[in-house]
Structure 1
Amino acid sequence: MNTKHILCKLAVGLSLALLTQTIQAQSSRIKDFNNNGWYMYFGDHKLHSKWGLHTELQWRRHNLIKDPQQLLIRTGINYDLTPAAMFTLGYGFIETHPYGDFPAAGTFPEHRIYEQLQLKSNLDRVGLMHRYRLEQRWIKPADADSYTYLNRARYMIKATLPLVGPTLEAKEPFLAVYDEVFVGFGNNIQRNIFDQNRAYAALGYKFSNAATLELGYLNQIVQKANGVVFEHNHTLQVSLFYHLNFTE
């Protein structure tokens, strides 16, 4: 048997092994379906020609609004690198409650530092936003005595389409869609290198140059730390964006 035949057999064997492993992994997955509601406020407030303040509050509920899911408070310092590029350094506090068919052992806190780069551009009538974020996370599970440190990277692309004219102006509606992927890395990541994915579509209205509202649907897939349980969360998302300019 020549070398070529040996290599072909090894390649076929490896492919079959990988296929078998993938099928077994998928067959062992457990799906957890939830209906959630996220009610959110975002603000980027201009304090200087280059500097600004980010403020954010998210009230996340399980069973649309009935039960608690998460409370997220986030703030940060913005710096405009260019008119289309903004860097943010910030802190977030998150309190997560047990929910779903595979809940956590109890309510637990998370402290988070993040670094973010946001880029804006246009493609004909469509406004595009790319957001790159790194997170350093300290999580204390309810059944643990100390915090666990985790790293995570996130990438979002969002598109906004005006429904009236070529550009989005005050008192006009628009459509918005985005997708965001989360990837964990570092020593304490278990089996969930893929952390989650969020796919979103919404109808929005720009009340003024400062205030915008979006009402949309978020499809969220979350892989739990054990790599077995996958949450499939259908989420009503209500978002208020209110940006103040204190330099004017």
Structure 2
Amino acid sequence: MDFKAILFRILPGLILLLELSPPALAQSERVKDFNNNGWYMYFGDHKLNDRWGLHTEVQWRRHNVLKDPQQLLIRAGINYDLTPSAMFTLGYGYIETHPYGDFPAAGTFPEHRIYQQLQLRNSLSRVGLLHRYRLEQRWIKRAGAETSTYLNRARYMLKATLPLIGTSTDAGEPFLAAYNEIFIGFGNNIQRHIFDQNRAYAALGYKINDAAMLELGYLNQIVQKANGTVFEHNHTWQVSLFYNLDFRSN
């Protein structure tokens, strides 16, 4: 059995172990905060030439599905294709977070973020797989603070897509999508939340044309607050538009 086959066998178990560990460590003092949110998102990876491209992204995140503000996220990056199935991205993000839930922040606060990302694509039979590895350097200025707090975070996402017609997803055809993403904090300023959050997602998608796809899905997000005792359980409706432009000349 080759290395890739072994990895695919053990990876689900590792992800499950990481998800289960934080509740076990904090079970005696955990406080649960349940929320219903809505995330409305645009993603674009735009080819400039055979190697280079641009990433653009806007996420409008709302508390109580649509009624109240939760977050505004704007992210951009420079893509470089290492191979046809591997892409590296270096980018910047701005995030504005608003108070929400039963344990809200003291006020609205900004975050500036630099990130490095590697995406690997492959497939198992009809299932397309995307592995995304991301490192983030974060500067967060809490409400009332005079200076920003610097934090490091690592993320890993495994996403699977399954065409519902044929062996590949073509224009005008639906598909299913699912992913799990784990967030781990590290560095000097991490308090009691080394486990930062986990996101589990399932969606129905539709490929509009060669450049555009739409996904309608549900996200179960578990977030551990910095104090280590409050865990958000966020039930989140997601609407995602993927629109990738190709600026290469014919």
Give TM-score scaled by structure 2 length: 0.90
Structure 1 residue runs of 5 or longer lacking an equivalent are: 1-21
User: Where does residue 8 of structure 1 map in the other structure?
Assistant: none
Q: Which has the larger radius of gyration?
A: 1
User: Where does residue 242 of structure 1 map in the other structure?
Assistant: 243
Cα distance in 2, alignment partners of residues 136 and 78 from structure 1: 18
Is residue 54 of structure 2 the alignment partner of residue 53 of structure 1?
yes
Structure 2 residue runs of 5 or longer lacking an equivalent are: 1-22
**Deviation of residue 164 (structure 1)?**
0.5
Q: Does the CA-based 8 Å contact 2:44-2:243 persist in structure 1?
A: yes
Match of 1:38, SS?
Answer: strand
Match of 2:26, SS?
Answer: helix
Cα distance in 2, alignment partners of residues 51 and 63 from structure 1: 39
Q: Percent identity?
A: 79
Match of 1:102, SS?
Answer: coil
**Deviation of residue 25 (structure 1)?**
3.3
**Deviation of residue 48 (structure 1)?**
1.0
1:50-107 per-residue CA deviation (whole Å, 9 max, x = no partner) reads 0000000000000000000000000000000000000000000000000000000000
Give TM-score scaled by structure 1 length: 0.90
1:148-196 per-residue CA deviation (whole Å, 9 max, x = no partner) reads 0000000000000000001111100000000000000000000000000
Cα distance in 1, alignment partners of residues 26 and 57 from structure 2: 38
User: Where does residue 207 of structure 2 map in the other structure?
Assistant: 206
Q: How many residue pairs align between the two structures?
A: 227
Cα distance in 1, alignment partners of residues 120 and 214 from structure 2: 21
Q: Which amino acid aligns with 1:114?
A: Y
Cα distance in 1, alignment partners of residues 214 and 98 from structure 2: 27
Is residue 153 of structure 2 the alignment partner of residue 128 of structure 1?
no
Is residue 171 of structure 2 the alignment partner of residue 170 of structure 1?
yes
| Pairwise CA RMSD | 1.0
User: Where does residue 161 of structure 2 map in the other structure?
Assistant: 160
Q: Which amino acid aligns with 1:162?
A: P
Cα distance in 2, alignment partners of residues 207 and 181 from structure 1: 30
Q: Which amino acid aligns with 2:82?
A: L
**Runs of 4+ more than 4 Å apart:** none
